[in-house]
Structure 1
Amino acid sequence: MNKSLKNLWGRFLFRDKGILPTTRLVLLLSFISLSFIVLSFFVTISWPVVLLINVFFFLFSLVDLVLTPSKKRLRMTRSIPGDLERGLEYPVHIVVENPTEHDMKAEIKDGIPQSFSRPFPFTGIVEKNSRKQFTYYTTAPVRGEYQVLKLYLRYQSRIGLWQKQMAFDEKDTIKVIPDMTETKQYLENAQKFLLHEGVTIRKQKSGVGEFSKIRSYVVGDDPRKINWRQTAKLQEVMTNEYEPEHGKYITILIDCGRMMGAELKKGNRLERSLEAALTVAAAALQKGDYVAVLAFSKSVKAYIPPAKGMAHLQTILKTIYNVQVDAAESNYAEVFQYLQLVQKKRSLILLFSDVKTFLHEESALVYLKRVRQRHLFFMIGVEDEILRKRAANPVTSLEETMIKGVAQQQLLTKKREKAKWEKQGLLMIEAREERLATTAVSHYIDTMNRGLL
């Protein structure tokens, strides 16, 4: 197909510009043709008469086309958020300006990526000498950076025999970031966020932490923390309140290897790990701790040095929002070597990875023993729900018995391997995908409150 034919075909595919007949014009032509066919059975109609009537109708339609609003006078603009969270619905506003003296029936499409939900085309009437805002809702299921370049408009003539189509250059850059719902829920109410999943923030170890404030004594407080000086002054029992020490270092490792691409109910393991990692980072930054993040697969993909303050959360988000699963096995040995070079201070290392794959990495155990000498290590992964269900399902046939036996054997093997690693002080846990963030945050809070770091 040569270039001219491609351009012509593009016009009929609702791209760039073009002129198209409407359904009304096709129906009128069909009606005229059918009328001539029916009349031919009763009277004799000469060809000049048929030709004259068709020419007259064609000229009439051209007059209607000429009276169509000029393309140069029309304007379209788009308003879309720069950052969209994966899987959430967002409104997009499109404004059409019609400065002409005639009402215009418009049909609109937006040039958003094919992976987005696309409720197109949508139509409406734009009155003369006015502007009208159209709103549609879209959802982005895949993280990444996207360029939206054009808006497409198709509008009809006054009588509705012809319609013109055109494209407006309206460039926008859209970043699809991880779903931050759990992070926002934690920042709004940490205790409620953890209680929703059946997890409570454990009480702090007595005598550990920094002085926070003096408050009224309530039932259940430690009597040893009563502030007798303030009690005597105010004639009310007052107690000292302590909180965990701030300024600790948290290092979050995110595995982007092949096994992290396994699909779950919502997204894959990497998507869930990113969302949980951001929630832990927000919790640590809110407490005044330093947070570093490292994403890796066969090599280090991204590293954010430790820093504190909630502004650092945006730095983390901008760096890792677009990391993707690699079609390669993760190189744990290399990432732990790299970690020893960049993280000199004692920290809590939180690794989001696939536990089953990690347990078979014997070479990583050597490097982890060195890391364990200076840092605390905790690994968390998404539980294999299918394996768990097959191991617990009742059996009614020989085939189901064999499947259940294999599933139980795999669970026992994993449990035995985890026990071997935990003897080295390397804690591991698997959580359901919907509880991954709460489990990770709960472990972080428990570690800080017990003064283990």
Structure 2
Amino acid sequence: MQSFYLNKIVYYIGGAIALCFIASYFAPQLYSIASVLLVLLFIAILADVLLVYLKKNGIIATRTTPDRLSIGDENRITLHLFNNYNHPVAVSVIDELPVQFQERSWVRNTTLAGSQGTDIHYFLKPLTRGEYLFHDINVFVTAPLRLVTRRFTINAQKTTKVYPSFIQMRRFQLLAIANRLQEAGVKRSPRLGHSMEFEHIKEYVRGDDYRTINWKATGRKGSIMVNNYTDERSQQVYCIINKGRVMKMPFEGMTLLDYSINAALVLSNISLVKQDKAGLITFAENQDVFLTADKRPGQMNLLLETLYKQETRFLEADYEKLYTVIRNKITSRSLLVLFTNFESMESLQREMPALKRMAHYHLLLVVFFENTAIRELTETSAGDLEEVYIKTIAEKFAFEKRQMVKELQQNGILSILTAPQQLTVNTINKYLELKNRARI
């Protein structure tokens, strides 16, 4: 679709000419000047119209988007523009973004030389999973005399799905393969003891554990030889995600469920890199998804497609049913990483019997969230009586969160209390710590 617009300068000049005609009533000599100016304006407008309508497709525009977008990350979008005119033009581009972004003032301005093209890059950060529909591209071309603007509406509708943060997953995967996870904030935990999974015999170097000396190989070789062990592999790691109403709580535009899904995706990928088996359980009032832990090549794509579809529900999660599913379907001892949230000690104590039974058969790690808004209140100084009261209540809630960690520890359950933005790093830290301590 194409449209024709007269620019503001035409109205300004036309207004000035109209004033000249009005003034010519009192000064007749101005009438001839106004008439000449009106004819010149008409000729200039006609020339601009001809210049921008010389070609049917004066501007060609296309959009390049990734096959899928990553939630919570900056995703690069590119607009490709090409000027079919033989003369330079000034263009304004309006890309009709998906409604989820609620962007009403997106515009980019540039100048294109004759028969030349350019690319416009910009980034989008989706905060919800689902299907995003990109609409048309509108290009406004201003003629050389700046009197006329022509609009080109290019049909560029495309639906793109927003998935859990696979960009974050790939970044951690590359760092894990290169043994550089420290660059992402993952701590290097000391190795306590060693696993019993033998890898090979090698010559002793300074720093090797002298308890691993292989005396028979040393006698045959004539130099000190030691056994080299590797981390135990093929351990089962299940990410369990609560989809109940407590996970609907928002933080910086994303829900706690979205943060948990992103962390579960990264942790599953890291566990596969470490040669462990990754599985998934989601639950609310009923068990929803159960993916058996495995390390086959297609497991990561299966996890990604499954996590893409998960949504919060508004009912309380049933931990007793979760325990029943775990007891019946997970027969060997596994690491269970439960992503959930507790806002009061009473809510934790209600679920404690089921958590204790899970921890009896498996290594259970409960990951729940620190309320950062409450933490900010506790760190601010109080200026009046009302602020003192608010700060006191906030400190009470923050103290109760810390008490939950102690309550879980006293019952032999591992736990992580973390801010949402630190969830992924803290979870990976704990997983690697458990690997180095040979707990799994």
TM-score, normalised via structure 1 length: 0.80
Paired with 1:27 and 1:239, the residues of 2 have a C-alpha distance of 89
| Structure 2 equivalent of residue 308 of structure 1 | 295
Cα distance change of structure 1 residues 69 and 302 upon mapping to structure 2, 3 Å threshold:
farther
The structure 2 residue matched to 1:331, chosen from 318, 330, 336, is: 318
Quick one: which amino acid aligns to residue 174 of structure 1? T
% identity of equivalent residues: 22
Whether contact under 8 Å (1:382, 1:430) holds in the other structure is yes
The structure 1 residue matched to 2:49, chosen from 65, 68, 78, is: 65
| Structure 1 equivalent of residue 431 of structure 2 | 444
Cα distance change of structure 1 residues 213 and 23 upon mapping to structure 2, 3 Å threshold:
farther
The structure 2 residue matched to 1:30, chosen from 5, 15, 29, is: 15
Q: State the secondary structure of the residue aligned to 2:120.
A: strand
Quick one: which amino acid aligns to residue 124 of structure 1? T
Paired with 1:82 and 1:118, the residues of 2 have a C-alpha distance of 24
| Structure 1 equivalent of residue 70 of structure 2 | 85
The structure 2 residue matched to 1:201, chosen from 179, 189, 192, is: 189
| Structure 1 equivalent of residue 109 of structure 2 | 123
TM-score, normalised via structure 2 length: 0.82
Paired with 1:49 and 1:391, the residues of 2 have a C-alpha distance of 75
Q: State the secondary structure of the residue aligned to 2:106.
A: coil
**Deviation by residue 1:119-155 (Cα, 9 ceiling, x = unmatched):** 7322333333x34122131222413221213211222
Quick one: which amino acid aligns to residue 136 of structure 2? K
Paired with 2:241 and 2:385, the residues of 1 have a C-alpha distance of 41
The structure 2 residue matched to 1:170, chosen from 156, 161, 165, is: 156
Quick one: which amino acid aligns to residue 217 of structure 1? Y
**Deviation by residue 1:65-101 (Cα, 9 ceiling, x = unmatched):** 2442333464321112223333443443222233344
| Pairing of 1:106-255 with structure 2 (within 5 A) | 106-116=91-101, 120-128=106-114, 130-144=115-129, 145-179=131-165, 183-190=169-176, 192-194=180-182, 197=185, 199-206=187-194, 208-231=195-218, 235-255=222-242
Matched, 1:42 2:42: no
The aligned length equals 435
What is the CA-CA distance between 1:447 and the residue it aligns to?
2.8
| Pairing of 1:399-438 with structure 2 (within 5 A) | 399=386, 402-403=389-390, 405-411=392-398, 413-414=400-401, 419-438=406-425
What is the CA-CA distance between 1:274 and the residue it aligns to?
2.6
Q: State the secondary structure of the residue aligned to 2:193.
A: coil
Paired with 1:405 and 1:88, the residues of 2 have a C-alpha distance of 36
Answer with 273-282 or 336-345: which moved more.
336-345
**Deviation by residue 1:326-345 (Cα, 9 ceiling, x = unmatched):** 44433333444344444344
Runs (5+) with no aligned partner, structure 2: none
Quick one: which amino acid aligns to residue 313 of structure 1? M
Whether contact under 8 Å (2:95, 2:136) holds in the other structure is yes
Cα distance change of structure 1 residues 231 and 340 upon mapping to structure 2, 3 Å threshold:
same
Whether contact under 8 Å (2:75, 2:123) holds in the other structure is yes
**Deviation by residue 1:315-364 (Cα, 9 ceiling, x = unmatched):** 32232135344444333334443444443443211011113358515554
What is the CA-CA distance between 1:209 and the residue it aligns to?
3.0
Cα distance change of structure 1 residues 160 and 350 upon mapping to structure 2, 3 Å threshold:
same
| Structure 2 equivalent of residue 10 of structure 1 | none
The structure 1 residue matched to 2:272, chosen from 285, 309, 321, is: 285
Q: State the secondary structure of the residue aligned to 1:170.
A: coil
Q: State the secondary structure of the residue aligned to 1:239.
A: strand
Paired with 1:305 and 1:281, the residues of 2 have a C-alpha distance of 12
What is the CA-CA distance between 1:378 and the residue it aligns to?
1.3
Runs (5+) with no aligned partner, structure 1: 1-15
Whether contact under 8 Å (2:68, 2:163) holds in the other structure is yes
Cα distance change of structure 1 residues 18 and 382 upon mapping to structure 2, 3 Å threshold:
same
What is the CA-CA distance between 1:159 and the residue it aligns to?
3.8
Q: State the secondary structure of the residue aligned to 2:270.
A: helix
Cα distance change of structure 1 residues 111 and 415 upon mapping to structure 2, 3 Å threshold:
closer
Q: State the secondary structure of the residue aligned to 2:156.
A: strand
Whether contact under 8 Å (1:290, 1:306) holds in the other structure is yes
Paired with 1:254 and 1:358, the residues of 2 have a C-alpha distance of 20
| Structure 1 equivalent of residue 343 of structure 2 | 356
Paired with 1:316 and 1:99, the residues of 2 have a C-alpha distance of 46
Quick one: which amino acid aligns to residue 154 of structure 1? F
Q: CA RMSD in A?
A: 3.7
Cα distance change of structure 1 residues 417 and 57 upon mapping to structure 2, 3 Å threshold:
closer
Paired with 1:276 and 1:419, the residues of 2 have a C-alpha distance of 24
